[in-house]
Amino acid sequence: MVIKKGFPVAPAVAFGAADAGVEIHQLSKWFAVDENRVQALDRVSLTVQDGEFLTLLGPSGCGKSTLLRMLAGLDVPDEGDVAVYGARVERPSLSRGIVFQDHRLLPWLTVRENIALSLHKSGLSQQEQNARVSELIALVGLMGFDKAKPYQLSGGMSQRAAIARALAPRPRILLLDEPLGALDSLTRTRLQNELIRLWEAERITVVMVTHDVEEAVYLSSRVVVMESRPGRIQSIIDIDLPRPRKRTDVRLVTLREQILASLE
């Protein structure tokens, strides 16, 4: 549990090294708001290790979602670079799964069709695709809901389907943009445990955006605390507690209090 204050230095290794999961180098981003240029991110540098569960935590307006969108390739940085598994991010890719706060399933497709949609570049035969979708439906616990339309699902179930869709093409990294933010606390707690289970089962890198300190501390191997105006990294906190963790663990509670205090 080492708290490193201040800006992390740029990685010493060459940029775009394939062994690091994610490399963000001196990234800045501005937005135009009523003819004013507002800086959303200011020279952010960060390295995410392969297989890590990393959370971007911070108040609204700190640019954490913008940062994630740039990892996904949905936005492009104005300055700096982003590379995922050695490849510079230029556009969205199925090799980087993403889940948003709202499920964004296509409302006119069934759960099965929605998940299958992300397999069109997989090179699998139709039967293999069907098998893969069934496997995912089982993985996220949606058995029996293959033919349900999104409007027939609860919020938690829709999010499970969205996670399945993101995982279908076997990405090495899963990007989560406040995926549990709109759920009630019981569903939320259950899905947090599911996320850990999926992360351990699939052995993938997870970068999650959240504003829930407890969620960040409970799930992550590292928490990146961000501050706003302009958005930058305030501190990075290693959470090397063994799993499975207990929410009531004194060390977790202490960490949560520390982070909350630093955010005030």
Query: Which spans of this chain sit near other proteins (rule: CB under 8 A)?
Result: 72-74, 91-94, 98, 100, 102, 104, 106-109, 117-118, 120-121, 149-152
Residue among 141, 28, 10 at smallest CA distance from 75: 28
CB of 136 to other proteins, least distance (A): 15
Nearer to other proteins, 49 or 152 (CB): 152
CB of 118 to other proteins, least distance (A): 5
CB 192 within 8 A of CB 222: no
b/e sequence 125-148, b meaning 16+ C-beta within 10 Å: eeeebeebbeebbebbbbeebeeb
Strand pairing of 87-88 and 79-84?
antiparallel
CB of 98 to other proteins, least distance (A): 5
Distances (CA, A) of 80 to 114, 117, 232: 34, 32, 14
Instruction: Give the integer Cα–Cα distance in Å for 241 and 253.
Output: 12
Nearer to other proteins, 108 or 200 (CB): 108
Beta strands, E only, the chain: 3-5, 20-33, 36-49, 53-57, 79-84, 87-88, 96-99, 173-177, 205-210, 222-227, 232-238
Nearer to other proteins, 84 or 259 (CB): 84
Nearer to other proteins, 98 or 233 (CB): 98
Nearer to other proteins, 91 or 203 (CB): 91
Radius of gyration of the CA atoms of the chain, in A: 18
CB of 38 to other proteins, least distance (A): 20
CB of 240 to other proteins, least distance (A): 32
3 state DSSP class of 5: strand
Nearer to other proteins, 121 or 243 (CB): 121
Nearer to other proteins, 55 or 114 (CB): 114
Side-chain half-sphere CA neighbours of 170 within 13 A: 7
CB of 219 to other proteins, least distance (A): 23
CB 64 within 8 A of CB 56: yes
AA letter at 211: H
CB of 133 to other proteins, least distance (A): 14
Instruction: Give the integer Cα–Cα distance in Å for 201 and 158.
Output: 21
